[in-house]
């Protein structure tokens, strides 16, 4: 694992440990990851109530923040973050999200905490209210290029406040697997060899085009003025936790590009170390191929944006799971290669 992480860092990619599938024992997973190599961040699940053990829901987050705090200080506040989702509630809007963010910030009381909100809630007003709390923000749940552009534009607007540019860190996380399952299901219904040949390609195509959108948004004159005033550039964070460990590791090695971050579950990190190859940028030169993939899907009548909206509606209408899933345990495969499913 250490060698794979070194290769990612050499290519300019920050490594995050993703324990968002379960918050139980999250600090333990962060500690294990730190023992393997340099960790730039951690992506956590919702705080669990451990009052039976004499703790509070924020204790696990505080412990994880403390583990990464030396990295945060050594980097001048650019790394060593811990991202945690804000709890859901019936009320929405800037005031409701700000109240939840303030409560979590005060409970954890660490400078490297990042509050995570869904993209559908991340309008300019809400983001500005969160930045006013002097807390870092992650906009999550983006899985299409168009939606990424909307989120990036809202974030760019929010970074320029009436009081002046903010100097708080921010992240835009792209769910690489968020749309692919739904696209592949439609391709399976079509059933032709040509349709099946497109399986497993939508996620990477959308991710690469989202990166192009990021580069265009944050190379504009509008962003240049904010950067000159000292505003940290929002970081694109790849999230692949919805896939199997080897599939997730495949995504990681195919989305290597300087200036981004990648969040891996522990099992995926082991799979990358075991069978992965990290060598050079795999995003910039693949923009044209990504466009062709979406054009092929459109020829079959599959619109990524339509599928994304359907997937978002499904997530919104589905009840929250009652039980926390167990972490996936990776199986050892001595000579397995990381290839598309």
156: which 2 tokens? 């760019």
Distances (CA, A) of 12 to 42, 148, 211, 278, 279: 17, 22, 15, 12, 12
What integer pLDDT is reported at residue 279 of this predicted model?
A: 85
Pairing of strands 164-165, 160-161: antiparallel
The residues facing 114 across adjacent strands are 83, 136
Burial of 48 (0-12, 13-18, 19+ CB in 10 A): middle
What integer pLDDT is reported at residue 58 of this predicted model?
A: 84
Helix (H, G, I), strand (E, B) or coil at 257: coil
pTM for the structure as a whole:
0.88
Q: Are 42 and 88 in contact (CB under 8 A)?
A: no
List the chain pLDDT tens, one digit each, 341 residues.
Answer: 457 888 899 999 999 999 865 545 677 788 888 877 788 999 998 766 554 444 566 888 898 899 999 999 999 999 999 999 998 776 778 999 999 999 999 999 999 999 999 999 999 999 999 999 999 999 999 999 999 999 999 999 999 877 777 889 999 999 999 889 999 999 999 999 999 999 999 999 999 999 999 999 999 999 999 999 999 999 999 999 888 999 999 999 999 999 999 999 988 988 998 888 888 899 999 999 999 999 999 999 999 999 988 767 665 554 444 333 343 333 434 334 454 43
Place of tokens 């005033």: 229
Residue ranges of alpha helices (H) inside 218-322 are 221-228, 245-254, 266-275, 287-299, 304-317
Q: Are 24 and 245 in contact (CB under 8 A)?
A: no
What integer pLDDT is reported at residue 314 of this predicted model?
A: 65
163: which 2 tokens? 């009081």
């Amino acid at each position: 694992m250490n060698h794979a992480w070194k290769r990612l860092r050499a290519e300019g990619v920050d490594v995050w440990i993703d324990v968002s599938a379960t918050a139980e024992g999250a600090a333990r997973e962060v500690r294990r990851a730190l023992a393997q190599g340099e960790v730039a961040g951690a992506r956590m699940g919702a705080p669990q109530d451990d009052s039976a053990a004499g703790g509070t829901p924020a204790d696990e987050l505080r412990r994880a923040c403390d583990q990464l705090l030396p990295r945060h200080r050594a980097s001048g506040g650019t790394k060593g973050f811990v991202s945690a989702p804000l709890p859901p509630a019936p009320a929405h809007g800037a005031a409701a999200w700000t109240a939840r963010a303030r409560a979590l910030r005060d409970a954890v009381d660490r400078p490297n905490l990042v509050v995570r909100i869904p993209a559908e809630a991340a309008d300019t007003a809400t983001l500005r209210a969160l930045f006013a709390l002097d807390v870092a923000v992650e906009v999550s749940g983006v899985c299409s290029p168009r939606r990424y552009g909307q989120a990036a534009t809202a974030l760019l607007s929010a970074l320029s406040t009436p009081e002046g540019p903010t100097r708080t860190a921010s992240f835009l996380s792209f769910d690489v697997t968020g749309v692919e399952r739904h696209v592949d299901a439609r391709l399976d219904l079509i059933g032709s060899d040509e349709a099946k040949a497109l399986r497993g390609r939508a996620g990477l195509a959308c991710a690469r085009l989202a990166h192009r959108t990021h580069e265009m948004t944050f190379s504009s004159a509008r962003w240049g003025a904010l950067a000159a005033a000292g505003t940290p550039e929002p970081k694109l964070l790849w999230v692949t936790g919805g896939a199997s460990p080897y599939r997730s590791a495949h995504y990681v090695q195919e989305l290597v590009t300087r200036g981004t971050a990648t969040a891996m579950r522990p099992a995926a990190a082991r799979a990358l170390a075991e069978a992965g190859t990290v060598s050079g940028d795999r995003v910039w030169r693949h923009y044209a191929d990504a466009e062709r993939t979406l054009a092929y899907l459109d020829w079959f009548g599959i619109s990524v944006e339509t599928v994304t909206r359907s997937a978002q509606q499904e997530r919104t209408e589905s009840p929250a799971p009652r039980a926390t899933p167990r972490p996936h345990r990776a199986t050892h495969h001595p000579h397995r290669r990381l290839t598309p499913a």
